[in-house]
């Protein structure tokens, strides 16, 4: 109560002092006449200068109640600049001011018009996509401009119903048959991209894991139930992107947007066929949960994905992730199916996928991309390896060789499954990224020096170095991926 009374008294004092100040200012203004004595004795106040009526008003005061809630008062009162006492001079000053203001506006309009005209003449599409100038396929993925959500209003944003009506005809179903069976071996989704240069075929985008495999036959089903035998143009298991082609024209191609403009929290929609053809064209929505989420998957790729909360299920793979403008901005690829996780879906950003898609159409593969040609695991995936790494003081990012591809240059060395990679080109593997960066920044034919560590039965370790050349990663063999997420086989750290 005492604090409340004190605060109340202080507030009353503030009001009284401020009223006195206002009255003083009003009296000074009313009594000011064009007399020489008053003008000479009055010190003019400078414009744009803050004056406080009393030092008390300029200080900051904090009040706290019983709940320790802080209230801050920081009141600054300004005195308007003193006006001229001569009416004629006042009118003349106003005329000059408006003349200068009008002149500035005219000049600004002229400069702005010139800048806009120059921008229209020199600007391109303004879309941040991968460089595909050297790709010479008979078609290329066209990415339309997407409004920047930070700089535009709701103009152009569609309702969920309008979005579905716009994209439903661009969704297709994909049924996969094995070479030795008439029964379907898998089903997925796809997105109509557009026609080829001949105008006789239409390209379909999907996921590599939907159509990859030996002797696979794919059938594409349109939204009206029409089916076409599909030709597999190419697929890349490293990025989980695949392209099909059907002999049909006049289909509704999807509009593709710029996934680089997505923001966390934006609404997104998933369109596809969860469970296969039985639930063809299912439409769900959620939001962008994360941008550039690193994902390593057992299905054969490692790249940065869009994480979202739109419900997807097996069968949605290869289907569209759509923004609020009805533009496809991602290719749904996988979800976490563990019962401890909910609404965690991942999609390949379409702006990142463009280069892969264009290369698959042009070459049937992704050319000139280097790989080491192994599969490996983190040492932390194995309790025994992790213990040895810590006891022997090996680099924390040391990697276990789980498989060596036949086309890998490492197959021609003394390296074997179960060895640890502890350094590359003399640089310790503090993390797995050290090796990945060396590979990604290299070129096909470049030589790397790997430091390997082999563990014997008596826990002794022996280190040795091997030189290996990077080979081309065509992306057509699942084992070309350099990393997977879990131990699918037991590897004895102590040899056979």
With beta carbons less than 8 A apart as the criterion, state whether 274 and 282 touch: yes
SS3 358: helix
Q: Which of 170, 189, 302, 317 is catalytic?
A: 317
Distance separating alpha carbons of residues 486 and 364, to the nearest angstrom? 30
In the DSSP assignment, the letter for residue 365 is S
Q: Which of 236, 240, 358, 409 is catalytic?
A: 240
In the DSSP assignment, the letter for residue 199 is S
CB atoms within 10 A of CB 181: 8
What is the chain's alpha carbon radius of gyration, rounded to the nearest angstrom?
A: 35
Task: Tell the residue number behind the tokens 């064009």, with chain if given.
Answer: 34
With beta carbons less than 8 A apart as the criterion, state whether 308 and 347 touch: yes
Residue 487: closest CA among 399, 372, 373: 399
Residue 318's Cβ-count burial label (10 Å; 0-12, 13-18, 19+) is buried
209 classed as catalytic: yes
Q: Which two tokens stand for residue 79?
A: 């005195």
SS3 277: helix
- Strand (E) or helix (H) holding 241: strand 241-246
Residue 385: closest CA among 233, 234, 495, 268: 495
Q: Which of 189, 201, 209, 259 is catalytic?
A: 209
Distance separating alpha carbons of residues 231 and 220, to the nearest angstrom? 10
Rounded to a whole number of angstroms, the distance between the first and last alpha carbons of the chain is: 83
Q: Is 140 left (phi over 0), alpha (psi -120 to 50) or beta?
A: beta
Pairing between β-strand 420-424 and β-strand 447-455 as defined by DSSP bridges: antiparallel
Distance separating alpha carbons of residues 154 and 167, to the nearest angstrom? 20
Task: Tell the residue number behind the tokens 């810590």, with chain if given.
Answer: 390
Q: Which two tokens stand for residue 454?
A: 């082999």
Distance separating alpha carbons of residues 337 and 209, to the nearest angstrom? 17
User: How would you write 369-412 as a 3-class SS string?
Assistant: CEECCEEEEEHHHCHHHHHHHHHHCCCCCCEEEEEECCCCHHHH
Give Cα 434 to chain centroid, integer Å. 23
- Residues noted as catalytic: 209, 240, 317
């Amino acid at each position: 109560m005492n604090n409340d009374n004190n605060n109340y008294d202080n507030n009353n004092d503030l009001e009284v002092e401020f009223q006195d100040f206002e009255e003083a200012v009003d009296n000074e203004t009313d009594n000011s006449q064009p007399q020489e004595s008053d003008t000479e004795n009055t010190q003019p106040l400078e414009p744009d200068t803050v004056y406080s009526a009393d030092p008390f008003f300029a200080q900051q005061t904090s009040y706290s109640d019983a709940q320790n809630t802080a209230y801050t008062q920081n009141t600054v009162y300004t005195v308007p600049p003193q006006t001229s006492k001569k009416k004629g001079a006042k009118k003349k000053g106003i005329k000059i001011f408006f003349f200068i203001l009008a002149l500035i506006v005219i000049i600004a309009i002229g400069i702005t018009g010139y800048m806009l005209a120059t921008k229209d003449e020199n600007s391109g599409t303004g879309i941040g996509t991968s460089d595909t100038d050297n790709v010479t396929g008979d078609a290329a993925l066209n990415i339309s401009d997407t409004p920047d959500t930070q700089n535009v209003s709701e103009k152009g944003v569609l309702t969920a119903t309008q979005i579905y009506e716009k994209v439903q005809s661009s969704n297709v179903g994909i049924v996969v048959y094995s070479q030795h069976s008439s029964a379907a071996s898998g089903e997925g989704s796809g997105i109509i991209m557009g026609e080829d240069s001949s105008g006789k075929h239409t390209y379909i985008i999907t996921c590599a894991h939907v159509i990859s495999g030996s002797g696979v036959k794919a059938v594409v089903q349109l939204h009206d139930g029409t089916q076409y035998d599909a030709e597999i143009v190419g697929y890349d298991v490293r990025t989980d992107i695949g392209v099909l082609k059907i002999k049909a024209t006049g289909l509704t191609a999807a509009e593709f947007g710029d996934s680089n403009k997505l923001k966390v929290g934006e609404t997104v929609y998933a369109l596809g066929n969860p469970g296969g053809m039985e639930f063809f064209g299912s439409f769900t929505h959620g939001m962008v949960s994360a941008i550039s989420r690193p994902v390593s998957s057992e299905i054969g790729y490692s790249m940065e994905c869009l994480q979202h909360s739109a419900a997807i299920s097996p069968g949605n793979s290869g289907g569209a992730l759509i923004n609020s403008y009805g533009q496809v901005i991602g290719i749904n690829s996988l979800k976490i199916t563990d019962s401890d996780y909910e609404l965690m879906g991942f999609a390949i950003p379409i702006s990142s996928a463009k280069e892969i898609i264009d290369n698959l159409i042009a070459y049937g593969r992704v050319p000139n991309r280097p790989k080491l040609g192994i599969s490996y695991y983190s040492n932390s995936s194995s309790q025994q390896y992790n213990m040895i790494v810590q006891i022997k003081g090996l680099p924390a990012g040391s990697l276990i060789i789980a498989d060596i591809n036949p086309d890998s240059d490492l197959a021609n060395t003394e390296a074997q499954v179960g060895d640890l990679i502890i350094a590359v080109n003399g640089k310790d593997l503090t993390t797995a990224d050290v090796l990945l960066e060396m590979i990604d920044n290299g070129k096909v034919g470049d030589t790397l020096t790997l430091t390997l560590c082999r563990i014997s039965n008596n826990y002794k370790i022996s280190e040795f170095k091997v030189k290996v050349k990077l080979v081309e990663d065509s992306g057509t063999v699942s084992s070309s991926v350099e990393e997977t997420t879990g131990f699918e086989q037991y590897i004895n750290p102590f040899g056979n």
